[in-house]
Amino acid sequence: MANKIGVDIGGSFIKVRDKRIPTPKNDEKAFVQAICTLIDEAEKPISGIGIGVCGMVQDGVLLYANNLGLENVPIAKILGEKYGVPVRVQNDVACFALAESHHSKLDNLVYIAIGTGVNAGVIANGVLLEGIEYGHTALLDGEVETYISARGLTEYGLPKFLAALDVVLVNICNTYRPKKIFLGGGVSMQIAPHIKRINDNLKRNHYGYKHAPATEVEISTLSTDGGIIGAGLL
């Protein structure tokens, strides 16, 4: 039976199943070789490869990843030619959204990963939207991840962090009308004690709240393997 391989590429490590190696920076050749090293160790035969990578992705190309020092890397083309199988590439948080959709059996949701930075993956009517870079949208006198991130939490404190999160959640609710918004990432556990207040605020403030279906916010229960699972589901 052929295997579908899911590869999760983060700022620190590239992971496939229970194996991981450091992510090369500022070197496209070494970056691609590291991915191939893990794929080569996977059980054969392979029927398809899914890649989740931190950065801006479109049409199988890693357009830009500032924390990897890479631009315009045609990952899908390179791996497709090497292995002769279909290859799909998405932002890593989008892969978490896909895994969460599979896990929760929901086809309208937003997954927000809050860690060193922040980004969102969106599933709308069962379709994974491409190119979402929510952490770099404008908020107050900065951008979303200025306030909603590990750095923002340290610099501005929890009250400002939660106030900014309230604004973002209302905007996301009014934009996508998801059934649920899942919060994940390293900072999410610090949000957990405030989840009722967050939901109460969203219920009161999203547009048409007295008439529109409610959006529920909850902490994701996916493990750190969610990125690998979502990449495989691509």
Question: pLDDT digit string (tens) for 183-196?
Answer: 998 888 889 999 99
Dist CA 29 CA 215 (whole Å): 44
Compute the residue count for the chain.
Answer: 234
Of the pLDDT bands very low, low, confident and very high (cuts 50, 70, 90), residue 214 is: confident
Dist CA 23 CA 220 (whole Å): 25
Top CATH class of 3-92+226-233 equals: alpha beta
Q: Tokens 């409610």 label which residue?
A: 214
pTM metric for this prediction = 0.90
**Residue spans in the chain of domains classed CATH 3.30.420.40:** 3-92+226-233, 94-219
Average pLDDT (63-92) is 94
Q: Which of 35, 1, 16, 2 is nearest to 231 (CA)?
A: 16
Out of 18-27, 99-108, 158-167, 207-216, pick the least confident: 207-216
Give 94-219's CATH code, choosing from 3.30.200.20, 3.40.50.970, 3.30.420.40, 3.30.450.20: 3.30.420.40
Both tokens of 167, joined, read: 């604004």
Dist CA 153 CA 160 (whole Å): 8
Burial class, 218, CB count within 10 angstroms (exposed 0-12 / middle 13-18 / buried 19+): middle
Across the chain, mean pLDDT equals: 92
Dist CA 35 CA 41 (whole Å): 10
